[in-house]
């Protein structure tokens, strides 16, 4: 991303300032419309190489937008003047793969060996779908997208492994074709779907019982369309059981200064 | 198309010379691999404007590659030194919408008011699919693709109207996603599919009984994928009942000097 795309008065910057000052502690959807929001993973430097390899080997569920050097609280390529310890509205602290609870501030747990990873999120392609008049049920109905653990293995790297997690959006076939075209243009936010139609082909037993998120109504004439999901790396991190790791609380994302439209073919 | 892309020794040129000299009178698949083959329609000038409007309004079934001026036997933008009267291996002559039989040469029926239309054909995108390792059943089994009359209306222009005709290729969902990505890059040879899945949604009653071409086996785990088809304009011409019209015999196409790869995003 070129420096001139990022100005101090981007809506993303203003949103992060508001979060840092404690004025915004709720979920980030509808905050800074048009700006890229990212999944967050923070790991000790000793695991950084393996996790980078995991992301490189599994780009559809784990599209990396930015990585910090150890101890660095900034990610200048995507967010001006970032303090990753204070600029996300809610975090989850994990120890040995178990959730220790939510935090609103990482300053008390921060360590000089922590590396920050920002990973693309489907919010960006959902905006592109809506802009092209492709209805997105989870947005229309204001609930979380349905997510499922599949039987598709990821390519393991060190302790990071596990099945791919997918998100599902039901669509008419003509809209699904448009959605495949549109999301193909956004490889850094999961890209094209990995499957549509029969859920059992990817190991999903019951669409009405998602493993994460809320159930989604599928109407007559609609097919379920499945995208690789950013919960996959979180799940791989949990199974790797690092001594310490930190993620965003789902829905409480890192708001960046990148525009969604800047992710096209990037 | 820039002039330098066309040389006298293109495989397309050599194929047309062979046809003109009477050495090749069979179907053109596998002739001049890598070169664009086109659907042919020849109409009196009095109908040319309406037919051009019909193509402009229905670009997915009727992607125009080139149009001649009245009486001109050449199409220099797509085929060097073309004589459209002799360079296609087999033609069908129509009078008032009824087939009068096949011809191997148009010189005895040619008129100075005839206008030639070259229309994109799915051969080009099938090659792109095979190059990306997406299996294409009708090519694997060496039979004609299955084609169906749908209930999707075209936008009428003057006497030209009628339902869209589609071709169908069965694929696994993951291959169908790739096929949507690949064919989206080729708008001048029908582009992305117009439907997949339930055939009744587009008015097709029985997949085992295509309206044109051969039946196609659909295997377990495959979905039918439907593309707009170049038979649509032929069908619109028949229903317009022009005093005279000429088409290629299906499978006996106009071989051009364009490369299939040159049609990307064109």
What's A71's domain CATH number? 3.40.1640.10
pLDDT in tens, B139-149: 999 898 999 99
Which one of B180, B192, B195 would you mutate to disrupt binding with A, by most A Cβ within 10 Å of its Cβ? B180
Place A249 in a pLDDT band, splitting at 50, 70 and 90.
very high
Structural tokens at position B181? 């990505």
Q: How far apart are CA A257 and CA B188, in angstroms?
A: 38
Co-location of A165 and A94 in the same domain: no
pLDDT, residue A265, reads 84
Searching chain B, which residue's CA lies closest to the CA of residue A223? B197
Searching chain B, which residue's CA lies closest to the CA of residue A193? B177
Searching chain A, which residue's CA lies closest to the CA of residue B177? A180
Res A3 pLDDT > 60 = no
* Cβ <8 Å between A196 and B177: yes
Give the domain range for residue A34.
3-121+241-263
Q: How many CB pairs under 8 A join A and B?
A: 44
* Cβ <8 Å between A192 and B177: yes
* Cβ <8 Å between A174 and B194: yes
Res A228 pLDDT > 60 = yes
Co-location of A166 and A88 in the same domain: no
Co-location of B16 and B144 in the same domain: no
* Cβ <8 Å between B173 and A196: yes
pLDDT in tens, A81-137: 999 999 999 999 999 999 999 999 999 999 999 999 999 999 999 999 999 999 999
Co-location of A109 and A128 in the same domain: no
pLDDT, residue A8, reads 57
Co-location of A159 and A147 in the same domain: yes
* Cβ <8 Å between B195 and A173: yes
pLDDT, residue B2, reads 46
Co-location of B26 and B100 in the same domain: yes
The Cα of A174 is separated from the nearest Cα of chain B by a number of Å equal to 6
Co-location of B79 and B174 in the same domain: no
Q: How far apart are CA A111 and CA A44, in angstroms?
A: 8
* Cβ <8 Å between A174 and B192: no
Co-location of B256 and B201 in the same domain: no
pLDDT in tens, A44-91: 999 999 999 999 999 999 999 999 999 999 999 999 999 999 999 999
pLDDT cut 90: percent of chain A above it: 92
pLDDT in tens, B71-97: 999 999 999 999 999 999 999 999 999
pLDDT, residue B222, reads 98
| Domain count of the fold of chain A | 2
Decide the pairing of beta strands B254-259 and B35-44. antiparallel
Searching chain B, which residue's CA lies closest to the CA of residue A182? B181
* Cβ <8 Å between B177 and A197: no
Task: Name the strand (E) or helix (H) holding B263.
Answer: none
Residue A247 CA, distance from chain mean position: 10
pLDDT, residue A237, reads 95
C-alpha pair distances (Å), B204 with each of A47, B143, B147, B207, B226: 55, 21, 10, 7, 11
The Cα of A184 is separated from the nearest Cα of chain B by a number of Å equal to 7
* Cβ <8 Å between A198 and B173: yes
Co-location of B179 and B107 in the same domain: no
pLDDT in tens, A27-51: 898 899 999 999 999 999 999 999 9
- Residue of B223, B235, B112, B106 lying closest to B175 (CA atoms): B223
Chain B hits for A183, CB-CB cut-off 8 Å, are none
Question: What's chain A's average pLDDT?
Answer: 94
C-alpha pair distances (Å), B76 with each of B12, B55, B82, B85, B175: 13, 20, 7, 15, 37
Of A12 and B3, more confident: A12
Q: Report ipTM for this prediction.
A: 0.79
Q: Give strand pairing partners of B114.
A: B44
3-class DSSP assignment, residue A51: helix
Query: Residues with Cβ < 8 Å from A106, sequence gap 6 or more?
Result: A42, A84, A85, A86, A91, A246
What's B138's domain CATH number? 3.30.2040.10
Co-location of B142 and B91 in the same domain: no
pLDDT, residue A48, reads 93
Co-location of B215 and B133 in the same domain: yes
* Cβ <8 Å between B196 and A177: yes
Res B6 pLDDT > 60 = no
Would you say A223 and A160 are in contact if contact means Cβ atoms under 8 Å apart? no
Searching chain B, which residue's CA lies closest to the CA of residue A194? B174
pLDDT in tens, B9-68: 799 999 999 999 999 999 898 899 999 999 999 999 999 999 999 999 999 999 999 999
Would you say B154 and B164 are in contact if contact means Cβ atoms under 8 Å apart? yes
Co-location of B78 and B152 in the same domain: no
Chain A hits for B196, CB-CB cut-off 8 Å, are 173, 176-177
Kindly state the average pLDDT of the residues B119-133. Answer: 93
Structural tokens at position A144? 């979380």
Query: Which residue from B180, B181, B197 is facing A223, i.e. has the nearest CB?
Result: B197
The Cα of B264 is separated from the nearest Cα of chain A by a number of Å equal to 15
Searching chain B, which residue's CA lies closest to the CA of residue A181? B181
* Cβ <8 Å between B198 and A173: yes
Chain A hits for B220, CB-CB cut-off 8 Å, are none
pLDDT cut 70: percent of chain A above it: 97
Res B3 pLDDT > 70 = no
Would you say A104 and A26 are in contact if contact means Cβ atoms under 8 Å apart? no
* Cβ <8 Å between B181 and A176: no
pLDDT in tens, B164-218: 999 999 999 999 999 999 999 999 999 999 999 999 999 999 999 999 999 999 9
């Amino acid at each position: 991303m070129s420096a001139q795309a990022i100005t101090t008065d981007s809506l993303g910057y203003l949103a992060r300032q508001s979060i840092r000052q404690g004025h915004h502690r709720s979920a980030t959807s509808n905050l800074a419309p048009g700006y890229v929001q990212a999944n967050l993973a923070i790991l000790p430097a000793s695991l950084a190489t393996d996790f980078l390899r995991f992301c490189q080997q599994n780009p559809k569920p784990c599209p990396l937008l930015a990585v910090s050097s150890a101890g660095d609280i900034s990610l200048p390529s995507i967010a001006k003047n970032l303090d990753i310890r204070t600029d996300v509205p809610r975090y989850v602290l994990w120890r040995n793969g178990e959730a220790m609870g939510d935090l609103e501030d990482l300053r008390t747990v921060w360590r000089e060996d922590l590396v920050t990873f920002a990973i693309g999120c489907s919010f960006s392609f959902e905006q592109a779908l809506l802009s092209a008049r492709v209805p997105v049920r989870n947005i229309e109905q204001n609930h979380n997208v349905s997510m499922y653990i599949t039987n598709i293995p990821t390519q393991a790297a060190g302790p990071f492994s596990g099945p791919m997690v997918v998100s599902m959006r039901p669509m008419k076939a003509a809209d699904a074709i448009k959605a495949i075209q549109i999301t193909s243009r956004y490889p850094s936010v999961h890209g094209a779907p990995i499957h549509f139609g029969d859920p059992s082909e990817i190991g999903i037993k019951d669409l009405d019982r998602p493993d994460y998120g809320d159930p989604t109504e599928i109407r007559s004439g609609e097919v379920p369309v499945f995208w690789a999901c950013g919960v996959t790396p979180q799940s791989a991190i949990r199974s790797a059981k690092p001594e310490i790791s930190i993620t965003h609380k789902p829905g409480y994302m890192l708001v960046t200064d990148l525009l969604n439209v800047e992710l096209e073919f990037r």
